[in-house]
Chains A and B, each alone.
Chain A
Amino acid sequence: MATDSTLTMSTPLTAVRLVPTDAFLRRRHLLDRTMRVVLFLAAAVSVLVTAGIIYVLVSESVKFFAQVSIWDFLTDTQWTPVFQDKHFGIMTLLSGTLMSTLIALAIAVPAGTILAIYLSEFARPRVREVIKPFLELIAGVPTVAFGYFALLFLTPIFQKFIPGLATFNLLVPGIVIGIMILPYIVSVSEDAMRAVPDSLREGAFALGFTRLQTGLRVVVPGAFSGITAAFLLGMSRAVGETMVVAVAAGQQAKIAGNPLEGAATITSYIVQLSMGDLPHDSIAYLTIFAAGLTLFLLTFAFNLLAFWLRRRYREAY
């Protein structure tokens, strides 16, 4: 903090420092002050981004909700903003989003937990060092490439085994999203597991626990809040995942009940509408902000909860 000025103001050092007369020191002091402000402004940008996101989403959504009641938005079971007979039931899009997210979690939660336990309790450090980079590579693959993979590689294969599977469906994109969020879930939950002190493990081994017993009964309960946070963060990513569903899940907005059929999600709807050329004062244009606000609130809630849980396990040990 402002140590320089307090020193020069109140202590006998003033005479020694010669701040006002020495040009070099004065320049140096000025640079220090300036850079402090510059760095502060850069940090302020990141706060402004959040503010900007909230401002844009809320201000456009307010215009939307001036024309459509929130009750209709939440309870209508049809979504037809560009038709003559307009309906704005977000539940249609939300059901598609939730369906693909649930399928993704059904893959990523068990696989992620097994992998995290394996990496933190079973694998030798050398093996772990080699494997983790490969998992990170999965996180680096562009999402549109995963979309292509889901539509043109996995879906035809799955269709051979599952007769009623449509070309555009929620099942395969859901599975692909599960694989996409897997590295993330593994790295966050393994992080939490490794934060469990070794003394607890040693105690368990001394009592005759095997590695698996130690993992399941000591490490997993000890890292529980961190592992839950990993699931929440994965869930937040799955909800916001866009390109896989935009490519491979179809664009039909309906209540998604059958994963073998396609359905639009919040994200794929935003993409679909952005591709068209809508007049910017139309109600259809405003719908993407209302849908975006819904998405933002969902992911914000998950992220906040995960933040709180992760902080808790950091404090615990």
Chain B
Amino acid sequence: MSTPGLSSSRFDGYSEARLLKRAKWSDGLFAVLGLLVLVATLLVLGALVADFINDGASRIDGDFLTSYPSRRPGSAGILSAWVGTTLVMIVTAALAVPLGVAAGVYLEEYAPKNWVTEINVTNLAGVPSIIYGLLALGLFVQTLAMGQTILVAGITLALLILPILIVATRESLRAIPQDIREASFGLGADQWQTVSGYLLPAARPGILTGAIVGLSRAIGETAPIITIGALTYIAFLPPSPVSASPPFVNFDWLNSPFTVMPIQMFNWVSRPQAAFHENAAATGVLLLGMTLLMNGFAIYLRYRLRRTVRT
């Protein structure tokens, strides 16, 4: 295979034909190989989903969703875990989306091109999630003594997905034709009017995609939350954010201890008893369902976006 067909064609027609045949044959062989690798990869994904459904789907019922974790696997549930996940995600979304979009807008539309910020964002996106956990442990839990609360977990995950949102915002801004900006400036708009009136609305679908992908990553993230020391037995709910009496809304829940679904799943899968593994699988089915749905929706949005841009 080291000599291409051309060089040997000088000598005789017979070997040329053979080389050509062999080249075509290896071409076909590679196509088959590529397909095989592809099918194998997708099979693994399929096996994973099937395994979870097989092990855990039957365990999911009303009681499972409305019970606290327990020493007896049969009566244990994920009430505190899914409530915790919901509340942490509210904090994460409320911080990461505005912060990420604002940072993305600044880096793309305002800041001069600068390799320090470029490296910074690329590097942040590649920092292992557990390092964010160490940051939160050292800074929020230790130095600022904020405790292992919903607020700390929400901030940590928000910082973790910040690069995803920044990159998504920048890429969708970059895709907007320069004419739009020039037209806006030409009409006498200043930079903020251009950004808020024309660029952000045009970039909205791309930003939404980034936000969904980022949040689905945050939902499944386990390591940083373990690192801040939140792997504990939680059999109560945080104080309710809304109440019947004035002022109707309160933020006490931000300072409450918590657990989240991936933590609960990790806790159960680390135990030797098979009955707890079933609980872990059931939690996994719900987690997988949420993250795959969110990712699927993001992919659909991106697909539709690409089609509208093309036409």
Binding site for B on A (CB under 8 A): 4, 28-29, 31-32, 35-36, 38-43, 45-47, 49-50, 52-53, 56-57, 59-60, 111, 114-115, 117-119, 122-123, 129, 131, 133-138, 140-149, 151-153, 179, 182, 207-213, 215, 217, 233, 236-237, 239-243, 246-247, 267, 270-271, 274-275, 277, 280, 288-289, 292, 295-296, 299-300, 302-304, 306-307
A53, A119, A207, A236: residue with the most chain B Cβ atoms closer than 10 Å: A53
Do A43 and B126 have beta carbons less than 8 Å apart?
no
Is A39's CB under 8 angstroms from B27's CB?
no
Q: Which residue of A lies closest to B191 (CB)?
A: A32
Given A111-B37, A122-B30, A137-B292: A49 in contact with B269 (beta carbons within 8 A):
no
Complex Cα distance, B163 from A46, in Å, reads: 8
- CB nearest to A247 among chain B residues: B269
A136 engages B123 (CB within 8 Å): no
B122 within 8 A of A: yes
State whether B102 touches A43 (Cβ < 8 A): yes
Q: Closest approach, in angstroms, between the C-beta of A144 and any C-beta of chain B?
A: 5
Question: A28 with B126: in contact, given A39-B105, A133-B299 (CB under 8 Å)?
Answer: no
B87 CB to closest chain A CB, in angstroms?
18
Asked whether B266 is an interface residue with its Cβ less than 8 Å from the other chain, the reply is yes
Contacts of A242 in B (CB 8 A): 128-130, 222-223
Please, which residue of chain B has its CB at the minimum distance from the CB of A117?
Answer: B34
Chain A residues whose C-beta falls within 8 Å of the C-beta of B219 in the assembled complex: 142
Instruction: A4-B190, A267-B223 are known; give 20 further A-B pairs, CB within 8 A.
Output: A28-B190, A45-B103, A45-B162, A46-B121, A46-B163, A49-B124, A52-B139, A53-B127, A60-B138, A117-B30, A118-B31, A137-B299, A141-B48, A141-B220, A142-B262, A147-B269, A152-B269, A182-B41, A215-B30, A271-B223
- Determine if A246 and B41 form an interchain contact, defined as CB atoms under 8 angstroms apart: no
Residues of B within 8 A of A143 (CB): 220-223
Please tell me if the beta carbons of B191 and A36 are within 8 angstroms of each other in the complex: yes
The docked-state distance in angstroms from the alpha carbon of A246 to that of B284 is 16
The docked-state distance in angstroms from the alpha carbon of A209 to that of B6 is 9
Please tell me which one of the listed residues B26, B110, B195, B270 contacts residue A212 in the complex, with CB atoms under 8 A apart. Answer: B26
Q: What residues of chain B lie closer than 8 Å to A182, measured between beta carbons?
A: 41
Chain B's interface: helix, strand, loop or mixed, by majority?
Answer: helix
Given contacts A208-B6, A242-B129, contact A148 B269 (CB under 8 A): yes
A317 CB → nearest B CB, Å: 18
Q: B88 at the A/B interface (Cβ < 8 Å)?
A: no
Q: Kindly state the separation between the CA atoms of A267 and B222 in the bound complex, as whole angstroms.
A: 12
Q: Is the CB of B106 within 8 A of A39?
A: yes
A142:B220 contact, CB within 8 angstroms:
yes
Residues of B near A149 (CB, < 8 A) are 47-48, 51-52
Check if B131 sits within 8 Å of A247, measured CB to CB: no
Closest to B185 in A: A3
Q: Find residues 131-147 in chain B having any chain A CB closer than 8 Å to their own CB.
A: 131-135, 137-139, 142
- By a CB distance below 8 angstroms, the chain A residues around B195 are 35
Q: B residues engaging A (CB < 8 A)?
A: 4-6, 23-24, 26-27, 30-31, 33-35, 37-38, 40-42, 44-45, 47-48, 51-52, 55, 98-100, 102-103, 105-107, 110-111, 116-124, 126-135, 137-139, 142, 159, 162-163, 166, 190-193, 195-196, 213, 216-217, 219-223, 226-229, 231, 262, 265-266, 269-270, 277, 280-281, 284, 287-288, 291-292, 294-296, 299, 303
What distance in Å separates the Cβ of A314 from its nearest Cβ neighbour in chain B?
12
Q: Which residues of A contact B37 (CB under 8 A)?
A: 111, 114-115, 118
Contact B51 A141 (CB under 8 A): no
* A270 in contact with B166 given A208-B5, A275-B226 (CB within 8 Å): no
Contact of A240 with B280 in the complex, beta carbons under 8 Å? no
A271 and B220 form a contact (CB under 8 A)? no
Min distance, Cβ B259 to any Cβ of chain A, angstroms: 13
User: Which B residues lie within 8 Å of A35 (CB)?
Assistant: 192, 195-196
Chain B nearest CB, measured from A308 CB (Å):
9
**Residue pair A122, B110 in contact (C-beta under 8 Å):** no
Specify which chain A residues have a CB less than 8 angstroms from the CB of B265 in the assembled complex.
Answer: 144-145, 148
Say yes or no: A145-B220 contact (C-beta < 8 A), given A43-B107, A114-B33, A122-B31. yes
Are B120 and A146 in contact, CB atoms less than 8 angstroms apart?
no
Most buried by A among B24, B52, B119, B130: B130
Contacting pair B220 A299 (CB below 8 A): no
Query: Contact: B41 with A135, CB < 8 Å?
Result: yes
A32 to chain B, nearest CB (A): 4
Some 11 contacts from A to B, beta carbons below 8 A apart, are: A43-B111, A46-B121, A137-B299, A143-B223, A144-B269, A145-B220, A236-B126, A240-B131, A246-B223, A289-B138, A296-B128
Asked whether A275 lies within 8 Å of B231 as measured between CB atoms, the reply is yes
Contact of A140 among B33, B266, B295 (CB under 8 A): B295
For B47, the chain A residues whose CB sits under 8 A away are 149, 153
Contact B35 A239 (CB under 8 A): no
A49 to B134, CA, bound (A): 12
- Let me know if B30 and A292 touch, CB within 8 A: no
Cα–Cα distance between A118 and B39 once the two chains are bound (Å): 12
B100 contacts across to A, CB distance below 8 A: 42
- Measured between beta carbons, the chain B residues less than 8 angstroms from A212 are 23, 26-27, 30
Contacts of B121 in A (CB 8 A): 46
Q: How far is the CA of A35 from the CA of B4 in the complex (A)?
A: 61
Q: How far is the CB of B134 from chain A (nearest CB, A)?
A: 4
Q: Is the CB of A29 within 8 A of B190?
A: yes
Q: Which residues of A contact B223 (CB under 8 A)?
A: 143, 242-243, 246, 267, 270-271
Given contacts A45-B99, A137-B295, A247-B270, A303 and B23 within 8 Å (CB-CB): no
Using A138-B45, A247-B270 as known contacts, say yes or no to A239 and B220 having CB atoms under 8 A apart.
no
Choose one: B138, B227, B288; the contact of A271 (CB below 8 Å): B227
